[in-house]
Amino acid sequence: MQKIKFSLVYRDMWQSAGKYVPRVDQLTAIAPEIIKMGCFDRVETNGGGFEQINLLFGENPNKAVREWTKPFNDAGIQCHMLDRSLNGIRMQPVPADVRQLMYKVKKAQGVEVVRIFCGMNDPRNIIDSVKYAKEAGMVTQAALSITFSEVHTIEYYIDLANKVIKGGADEICLKDMAGIGRPVWLGKIVAGIKKNHPEIPVQYHSHSGPGFAMASILEVVRAGAEYIDVGMEPLSWGTGHVDVLAVQAMLKDAGYDVPEVDMKAYMKVRSMNQDFMEDFLGYFITPTNRQMNSLLISSGLPGGMMGSLMSDLENNLADLNRWLKKNDKPLLNEDKLLVKLFQEVEHIWPKVGYPPLVTPFSQYVKNLAVINVTQIVKGGERWEIIPDNVWDMLTGKLGRLPGKLAPEIKELAEKEGKEFFTGNPQELYPDKLNEFRREVDENGWEYGKDDEELFQLAMHPEQYRNYKAGKAKKDFEKDLEKRKREGAGLYQKVQKVTEKPSAKDTAVVQPSSMTVDVDGQKYKVTVSYDDNPSATGNQPGPGQSSQIGQSEMKQAPKKDLAEVQSPLSGTFFLTKELSEKPVKPGDTVKEGDVLGYIEAMKTYNTIKSDKSGKIAEIVRENGSEVFEDDVLFRIES
């Protein structure tokens, strides 16, 4: 009788539902109860996105990983992590020396198995990580990023498995991150791998969103898969994973040797997860992500990014409606924008070379779709804005695309002067650990046990600096308080359709400043909407009138100062790499010089000067939130 082992994808359960994951005190409290369930051979403890999220709410990820893995290590349950190969555990490419340090640190922290995937399915990226991880003593599981298209055939995946196994992979994972793999088709892929490599364990990972997952699990098990990833309530189903109870019952009935589930422990873990949501996590979980949606079949967007997608969509909808209102056009609701987004993803995916829609390329394609939809709604054209990271994907700097680019993309690349790269992507991202060592020394920071603090700085520079400065925790607490006050996430307030919206509900963000003309003389003024003349950006209350803070009045820029505006909403940065030198007032710039960046939806958009001259003013602070058309720089001719 074939034995089936279960892996609890605990990290992914949370990330597929919302933005954050439990704190370390919550993780260590729930670990013994998960062990008592008695049905897991593996637990996913950390990896891509997880440790960055720790930093975002002001928690040390090294402490979290060490304390979280220890009880499982002691119980003989393997801990496994998710690794994005060239991108390590972040969204952008990582220098080779930082990648190598990562595996040494994670092995020392108690993580035994590393699941390595490349969003391009480029075996070069995967095999490099396999080599580094094996040197650190880890079990290497090469993941095939599953998607369904004319270029992603059964033969394509069997050939990819052959290449990564030849490159040293100990195991294979079918990472069906969007759950759109067709059941019989997946079974044939597993059967082909097992025929060529019967000794290689195969693990199947799927999201339940489109509805194929249960049938797919049965088919891959019939074909020889030994490990199955599962979730559990209250975070199973929807854009998450199938529940362990359903999988266990199905496979047991089909005659497979499956572990029993301690139901008392199951209910305890379920209850604790619910407590975590009520504590704070539920405020970052969009109710839509708890639903299954067959529209995901055509768009192919993965469950793991749906939490961040809905958060991004909320911001984009507010930004787009702000523009529509300003231009006296009908507003959109979230459902309409979501459908437009799904349709746009389906339209552009073949044109950009069929990258498997998994991190970071699912985000890149989704972001491109959002930008296209926004531009089209505003009366513009497709492809008006293509972020830097997307260009890197299109031009081969992140790996080889599975399909061919559409002629219109090639023509646009030529027009933009983009060069295509065919070498190993790692060549473009040289070693940088020494630079980060200098930063640690200059700040008097600790390197940490096994250099783990150095690793976190090198892997997540901006997030780590904000964590060390205390800014991350303050920003998180401010956001959480706002969400609690507004009843966000699973706890959002429901208003009856028949009720008349209040002034507060229908309010839009008012300008904090404006330029006024007084007898032909232009003045920049700060606008206040309450009794405090220094307050800005607030709605006037009942009976209040808008006030102009006279002390803030200053003359607007002269006509010989050109304004550089933000092309979209996001976070303004002067640099995105440690090696870059930020521009400053007084610097001379030429047309086409890089002035800074707008980070939006985890991708960077370069801001270039459209004229030569001297920087007279940097209007916005580094790291500040900006809206589309906000002035960023003023340049003197």
Name residue 88's beta-bridge partners: none
CA–CA distance from 521 to each of 515, 516, 554, 635, 636 (Å)? Answer: 10, 8, 11, 21, 20
Residue that wins the pLDDT comparison between 250 and 303: 250
Per-residue model confidence (pLDDT) at position 299 = 57
Structural contact between residues 108 and 81, judged by C-beta atoms closer than 8 angstroms: no
User: For the chain, what is the radius of gyration of the CA atoms?
Assistant: 25
Pinpoint the alpha helices (H) of 293-360.
Answer: 296-299, 306-326, 334-348
Cα 301 from Cα 579, distance rounded (Å): 34
Q: How many CB atoms lie within 10 A of CB 199?
A: 7
The predicted model gives 139-162 an average pLDDT of: 96
Residue pLDDT, tens place only, 183-239: 999 999 999 999 999 999 999 999 998 899 999 999 999 999 999 999 999 999 988
Identify the three-state secondary structure at position 162: helix
Per-residue model confidence (pLDDT) at position 519 = 47
Level-2 CATH architecture, domain 296-428: Orthogonal Bundle (1.10)
Return the DSSP state at 241. Answer: B
- φ and ψ of 384, to 5 deg: -65, -35
DSSP class per residue in 72-109: HHHHTPEEEEEE-GGGTTSSS---HHHHHHHHHHHHHT
First CA to last CA distance, the chain: 79
Identify the three-state secondary structure at position 483: helix
Cα 223 from Cα 219, distance rounded (Å): 6
Per-residue model confidence (pLDDT) at position 498 = 36
The predicted model gives 383-387 an average pLDDT of: 87
Which token pair is 225?
Answer: 């898969």
Which token pair is 637?
Answer: 């001719």
**Does pLDDT of 369 surpass 90?**
no
Which stretch, 46-60, 297-311, 357-371, has highest mean pLDDT?
A: 46-60
Per-residue model confidence (pLDDT) at position 313 = 66
Cα 104 from Cα 50, distance rounded (Å): 18
Pinpoint the alpha helices (H) of 461-588.
Answer: 461-469, 471-486, 503-506
Q: How many CB atoms lie within 10 A of CB 220?
A: 27
Those residues with Cβ within 8 angstroms of residue 272's Cβ, 6 or more apart along the chain or in another chain? 26, 29, 30, 33
Give residue 375's pLDDT band: very low, low, confident or very high (50, 70, 90).
confident
Cα 590 from Cα 584, distance rounded (Å): 14
CATH code that applies to domain 561-636: 2.40.50.100
Cα 210 from Cα 218, distance rounded (Å): 16
Peptide bond preceding 234 in cis form (omega within 30 of 0) = yes
Pinpoint the alpha helices (H) of 167-222.
Answer: 183-196, 213-222
Laid out side by side, the sheet with 513-518 consists of 513-518, 521-528, 547-555
Laid out side by side, the sheet with 625-626 consists of 603-608, 594-600, 570-573, 625-626
The predicted model gives 533-556 an average pLDDT of: 36
Peptide bond preceding 123 in cis form (omega within 30 of 0) = no
The predicted model gives 14-27 an average pLDDT of: 91
Identify the three-state secondary structure at position 590: coil
Per-residue model confidence (pLDDT) at position 568 = 78
Structural contact between residues 564 and 618, judged by C-beta atoms closer than 8 angstroms: no
Name residue 203's beta-bridge partners: 173, 227
Per-residue model confidence (pLDDT) at position 287 = 81
Domain ranges of the chain: 296-428, 503-555, 561-636
Which stretch, 309-323, 331-345, 561-575, has highest mean pLDDT?
A: 561-575
Residue that wins the pLDDT comparison between 467 and 524: 467
Residue pLDDT, tens place only, 118-136: 989 999 999 999 999 999 9
Cα 59 from Cα 477, distance rounded (Å): 12
Residue pLDDT, tens place only, 405-458: 999 999 999 998 999 999 999 999 999 999 999 999 999 999 999 999 999 999
Question: What is the percentage of the chain residues whose pLDDT exceeds 70?
Answer: 85
Question: What is the percentage of the chain residues whose pLDDT exceeds 90?
Answer: 58
Per-residue model confidence (pLDDT) at position 252 = 97
**Does pLDDT of 289 surpass 90?**
no
Rounded to the nearest 10°, the torsion over CA 284, 287, 293, 297 is -10
Give residue 601's pLDDT band: very low, low, confident or very high (50, 70, 90).
low
pLDDT, averaged across the chain: 85
Residue pLDDT, tens place only, 510-534: 444 455 554 445 444 444 444 333 3
Structural contact between residues 596 and 583, judged by C-beta atoms closer than 8 angstroms: yes
Cα 267 from Cα 249, distance rounded (Å): 17
Which stretch, 289-303, 322-336, 385-399, has highest mean pLDDT?
A: 385-399
Cα 11 from Cα 80, distance rounded (Å): 10
Does an H or E element contain 252, and which? helix 244-253
Per-residue model confidence (pLDDT) at position 39 = 98
**The two domains 296-428 and 561-636 share their CATH topology (first three levels equal):** no
